[in-house]
Structure formats: structure tokens, C-alpha cells
């Protein structure tokens, strides 16, 4: 298992965490999270972060590694930490299992993508942040048509970063290069995709559970401690701002979180569908069989 990696992807609320723990227990695995929100300390309920009890003794990595401050935790930082964790797991002859719904994180690790090194320009970001996603996308399309074709036109954070690179370098965003040293051979990686026919029902159920578990209190405490930082411009947290300012009620907050989560899940599915290496499954039985056969093969 020294060179083997299992990757579990899929939209939010599809059951990735539960599946990964079952596989880890069955095949002596350890889990590396690939979630861009679960890296933040204290953002637990709103991100659906696995609890100690739910881990069932299985080691988990890259959870709670940075405070939700003003500086964004970058893909490059994540890639370095994730690859280090995976190599450490493999050295101990355990099965490394990379799990999450952040497609860019997973692509960066599996394909060893080299991220452009352009330092953040906070003044520029603040200026761009005031503009709507639609306008940002139009600007990017004019300055860098090729990058505009591949970017999520509704994702302000990614649009701002792309424009930042273009404006600072005076060049188009470079193609994401693959680094041969880090890129995994196809024989060494198995990517499983979880798909659920009742995803909407699962999302609604999860969000109701978050409310019962104290999401309002979690958000309130975090905002009191850190303010409305960039980390909270994310689903499950951003919707509470108007509530705390008494502009909307709690029912409206819940509706907004459900709506935004459903849209996010659709974007995740679109992203993952592009990767033809993914083997789509619906249950643990299928995952177990594919994993068993994969581990039997020699690299």
C-alpha cells in the first residue's frame, strides 16, 4: 500500500465521510480531508465536520489547522500539507484515503498541479470584492478568455484571484502545469465518486440537523471572536449576517442555506463529471469491491 491512494469525491451530504471511515476500518486506512472549509478551527457544525466520536478511532488529517482569520488558506498551502500527510501514511504501510468535495484541492494533490506564485494584493482584492460576480466575469473574459472558459463564473473568490494574477503579472493566468514528481500514476490511485438519487432530501436533512446542533450559536461566537472575515464568506455562515443585523428571520436563513447548498452541490457534480477517472458508486459494497481489487494490483 506504499504507493496506493484512494480518493473519495462527491457533492456535499452524499455520505463521503461515512464511506471513508468504513473503508479505513476495513483496509487499515487513514484519512486526509480535502475540504476548503474544514481546515478552519471552530467551523464545525456549518461545515459538517466529522466529530471525534464519528471518527471511530481512525486518524484524520488537515482538519482544524488554521484559524478563520483574514488571510485565506491557499490551494498551494493545502497541496503541500496534504502530500506530506499522504506520504507519511504510506511510509507506515497504511492506506491513504483522500476525502472531500473541494475539487481543486483534490486535483492539486492527485495531479501535482503547480499553482502560480502571485502574492495577495489585499487592496486590489477589496476593490474587486465590491463588484458583482457578473461584472468580474466580464472583466476576466475580456482580459483572459481562456481562463474565463474554465472558471466558475459565480465563484467570486476564484474570479478575484484570476483577475489578481492577470492584473499583477500583465499576462493571462498560466495553464495549471502538472509536476511529474508529484503526479500519481493511474495504477496508484483509485477515485471513487459517490452519487445519490435523493441528494436534495439529504441536504435538507443535514441542514436541519445543523440548526438543531447549534449552528446559530457557533456562527455568533466565531463572528464575535474574529469578525466577518473572508473565511465566513461561505455557505452556512454568510447567510447569518443579515439575521444578526435583524434584516431577515431564522426561517429565511435556513431557506437561503438550503438554496445555496443545492446550487453548490450542482457545481461540485459538474466539476467531478469532467474527470473520467472517477468510478461512480452508490454504496459501501461497491466501494469495498473496487478497493479490494485495486489493492491487489501491482503498481
pLDDT per residue of the chain (299 residues) written in tens, 0 to 9: 668 999 999 999 999 999 999 999 999 999 999 999 999 999 999 999 999 999 999 999 999 999 997 667 888 899 999 999 999 999 999 999 999 999 989 999 998 877 777 887 888 988 998 899 899 999 999 999 988 887 878 778 888 988 999 998 888 876 665 554 445 655 599 999 998 889 999 999 999 999 999 999 999 999 999 999 888 989 999 999 999 999 999 999 999 999 999 999 999 999 999 899 999 999 999 999 999 999 988 65
Question: What is the reported pLDDT for 180?
Answer: 45
Question: Has residue 229 been placed in a domain?
Answer: yes
Residue ranges making up the domain that contains 214: 200-264
Question: Has residue 156 been placed in a domain?
Answer: yes
Q: Are residues 171 and 204 in the same domain?
A: no
Q: Are residues 204 and 239 in the same domain?
A: yes
Question: Exposed, middle or buried by CB within 10 Å (0-12, 13-18, 19+), for 47?
Answer: buried
Question: Has residue 171 been placed in a domain?
Answer: yes
Contact 161, 115 (CB under 8 A): no
Please enumerate in sequence order all residues whose Cβ is within 8 A of that of 166, keeping only pairs 6 or more positions apart, or say none.
140, 143, 144, 147, 172, 173
Contact 258, 264 (CB under 8 A): no
How many domains does one find in the chain?
Answer: 2
Backbone angles phi, psi at 235, to 5 degrees: -60, 135
Task: Give, in degrees to the nearest 5, the angle at Cα 30 between 24 and 36.
Answer: 110
Question: Has residue 22 been placed in a domain?
Answer: no
Task: Tell me the pTM.
Answer: 0.86
Question: Has residue 190 been placed in a domain?
Answer: no
Closest CA to 98 of 143, 48, 50, 33: 33
For position 255, which CATH number holds? 1.10.287
Report how far residue 209's alpha carbon sits from residue 198's, in angstroms, rounded to the nearest whole number: 17
Matching residue, cell 464545525: 44
Question: Has residue 55 been placed in a domain?
Answer: no
Question: Has residue 71 been placed in a domain?
Answer: no
Question: Has residue 159 been placed in a domain?
Answer: yes
Q: Are residues 168 and 205 in the same domain?
A: no
Amino acid at each position: 500500500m506504499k504507493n496506493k491512494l484512494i480518493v473519495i469525491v462527491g457533492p456535499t451530504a452524499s455520505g463521503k465521510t461515512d464511506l471513508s471511515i468504513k473503508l479505513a476500518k476495513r483496509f487499515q486506512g487513514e484519512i486526509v480531508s480535502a475540504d476548503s472549509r474544514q481546515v478552519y478551527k471552530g467551523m464545525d457544525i456549518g461545515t459538517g465536520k466529522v466529530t471525534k466520536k464519528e471518527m471511530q478511532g481512525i486518524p484524520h488529517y488537515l482538519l482544524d489547522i488554521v484559524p478563520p482569520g483574514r488571510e485565506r488558506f491557499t490551494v498551494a498551502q493545502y497541496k503541500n500539507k496534504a502530500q506530506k500527510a499522504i506520504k507519511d501514511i504510506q511510509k507506515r504501510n497504511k492506506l491513504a484515503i483522500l476525502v472531500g468535495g473541494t475539487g481543486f484541492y483534490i486535483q492539486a494533490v492527485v495531479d501535482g498541479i503547480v499553482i502560480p506564485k502571485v502574492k495577495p494584493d489585499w487592496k486590489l482584492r477589496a476593490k474587486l470584492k465590491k463588484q458583482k460576480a457578473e461584472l468580474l466575469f466580464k472583466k476576466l473574459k475580456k482580459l483572459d478568455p481562456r481562463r474565463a472558459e474554465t472558471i466558475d463564473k459565480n465563484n467570486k473568490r476564484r474570479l478575484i484571484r484570476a483577475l489578481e494574477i492577470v492584473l499583477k503579472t500583465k499576462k493571462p493566468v498560466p495553464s495549471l502545469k502538472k509536476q511529474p514528481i508529484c503526479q500519481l500514476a493511474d495504477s496508484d490511485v483509485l477515485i471513487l465518486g459517490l452519487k445519490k438519487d435523493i441528494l436534495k432530501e439529504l441536504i435538507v436533512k443535514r441542514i436541519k440537523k445543523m440548526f438543531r446542533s447549534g449552528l446559530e450559536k457557533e456562527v455568533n461566537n466565531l463572528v464575535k471572536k474574529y469578525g466577518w472575515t473572508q473565511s465566513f464568506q461561505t455557505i452556512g455562515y454568510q447567510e447569518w449576517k443579515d439575521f444578526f443585523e435583524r434584516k431577515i428571520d431564522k426561517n429565511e436563513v435556513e431557506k437561503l442555506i438550503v438554496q445555496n447548498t443545492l446550487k453548490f452541490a450542482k457545481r461540485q457534480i459538474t466539476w467531478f463529471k469532467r474527470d473520467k477517472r472517477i468510478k461512480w458508486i452508490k454504496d459501501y459494497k461497491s466501494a469495498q469491491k473496487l478497493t479490494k481489487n485495486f489493492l491487489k494490483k501491482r503498481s
